[in-house]
Structure 1
Amino acid sequence: MYFQLAYHTDAGIKKKTNQDALLLKTARTPMGRIGLFIVCDGMGGLTQGELASATVIRGMLDWFETELPKITHSGQEQMVIDIQQQLTNCVKGLNRKISDYGEAGNIKLGTTITALLIVYSKYYLLHVGDSRAYQIHDDLSLLTKDQTLVARELERGNITEKQAKIDPRRNVLLQCVGASPELDPVVSHGKVKEGDLFMLCTDGFYHEISNEELFTSLRPDRFSNEQQMKETVVELVELVKKRMEADNITVLMTKVTAGEAS
């Protein structure tokens, strides 16, 4: 198994700084390749959001390099349990670290995290906030649920989808890393098939683009190499900017292939 990778991040049309952060990290093991892919959105209205997102990226990378190798030789069932538990513990520890830093300096900072870990034929997904993960093969599947006030009101039937798109509370998060006293990350897992394409993005990307446009542009069979993926990601980000998205925008894609990435 190999990964074809592409990403693009942009400060957007209004903001001077980009508080988003991302990670693409792969490694060889005797059983095959594994990979960790993350997008984080530092809170735009909070002080030092870029510090929060960078701290989470560094902490998750350290876990991938030092702790994950210790459990990849476990039996399949035990490995699934261990990975999910360790992902949860890792992000809860980072939540405390960022929260303690903020309290000591009397500042507020926080970040979303959507992390995709691929180990052999399984993926593991860690999610806090409103960044997203999609799986694309014969169709497009949204793997995450937005943890926002508006998403909760929509789910409860208190507002319509049309109202949700223009609701001024659209960016109010129910929780985020560093600014939530008690963090409850959502961790899930599923199967990986050859040819799957996974796309992670911050909320600056998906508000101004439809699921139909995403699927048409990101069908895995359209991409035979990373350059094609990169060009498509850049085109989509520019399209979103033309539609006047004001937030930072980050997109990360990985396509699972049987051959060496080209």
Structure 2
Amino acid sequence: MVLAAVCDGLGGMDAGEIASGYVAERLSIWFYEDLPDLLEKKRSKKALENALLRVFYDVHERLVAYGEERKLRLGTTLSMLLIVDGRYYLFHIGDSAVYLLGRIGKKITKEHSISGNVLQKCIGIGAYKRPDQKRGRIRKKDVFLLATDGIWRALTEEEWGQILGKKKSLNGKKAEKILRDIAAKQIRLGKADNMSAIYLRGE
């Protein structure tokens, strides 16, 4: 089982870290405490998805309340994959992204922003908006990239497929070096965005 997520906080440095950190904390608690019980009871795929949607709704409402009490505007994007029994469950809201490379080679999430800089959806700000969802079976050659916009905007969809999806010899350490080099180049170019990424390869 794997739960992987990237979050890009909004509302200034401190507020953004509070929002993204809280989402990560709640997902970790759900993964280690609630998911095993759901699997033991052999709940359906839909039940797993609904359980996570309840977490997202609760997190959103708590962040909104926290912000209102302190007169803060804080929120976060979220792109998340849950992998269980050879299937992936994708949840996505905001302008981070998930790519399915290798066999398919394309971005499988939609960017929830206008002109690349005005967010239409996120967790923690405004009315609750349900994350986009996808699910599917993982194939042997599947490669997933989860990345904040500070990383994924650095290359085209085709370029991501070439450097991470097409190389059979690529392992986790090599992929990490590629991603670190891309982040370093973005920093040298003066980019100040969050640069987080996760590389996952189907076995």
Shift of 1:238: 2.4
Which of 181, 184, 196 does residue 238 from structure 1 map onto? 184
Aligned pairs for 1:93-172 within 5 A: 93-150=58-115, 170-172=116-118
Q: Give the distance between the partners of 1:190 and 1:111, measured in 2 at CA.
A: 25
Shift of 1:196: 1.5
Asked whether the equivalents of residues 42 and 112 of structure 1 are also in contact (C-alpha less than 8 Å), the reply is: yes
Q: Give the distance between the partners of 1:193 and 1:250, measured in 2 at CA.
A: 25
Asked whether the equivalents of residues 112 and 119 of structure 2 are also in contact (C-alpha less than 8 Å), the reply is: yes
Count residues with an aligned counterpart: 203
Q: Give the distance between the partners of 1:256 and 1:63, measured in 2 at CA.
A: 23
Which structure has greater helix proportion?
A: 2
Amino acid at match of 1:67: D
- 3-state DSSP of counterpart to 1:248: coil
Shift of 1:184: 1.7
Q: Structure 1 residues 100-109 or 243-252, which shifts more?
A: 243-252
Amino acid at match of 2:141: G
Q: Give the distance between the partners of 2:154 and 2:41, measured in 1 at CA.
A: 43
Query: Structure 1 residues 147, 35: closer, same or farther in 2, change over 3 A?
Result: same
Q: What is the percent sequence identity of the aligned residues?
A: 29
Shift of 1:84: 1.0
Asked whether the equivalents of residues 114 and 127 of structure 1 are also in contact (C-alpha less than 8 Å), the reply is: yes
Q: Give the distance between the partners of 1:120 and 1:56, measured in 2 at CA.
A: 24
Quick check: which has more Rg, 1 or 2?
A: 1
- 1:87 aligned partner: 52
**CA deviations over 1:116-166 (Å, ceiling 9, x no partner):** 00001110011111110111123412111011123xxxxxxxxxxxxxxxx
Q: Give the distance between the partners of 2:102 and 2:41, measured in 1 at CA.
A: 29
Shift of 1:45: 4.5
Asked whether the equivalents of residues 149 and 174 of structure 1 are also in contact (C-alpha less than 8 Å), the reply is: yes
Structure 2 portions without partners, runs of 5+ = none
Structure 1 portions without partners, runs of 5+ = 1-33, 151-169, 258-262
Q: Structure 1 residues 103-112 or 44-53, which shifts more?
A: 44-53
- 3-state DSSP of counterpart to 1:71: helix
Higher relative contact order (CA 8 A, sep 6+): 1
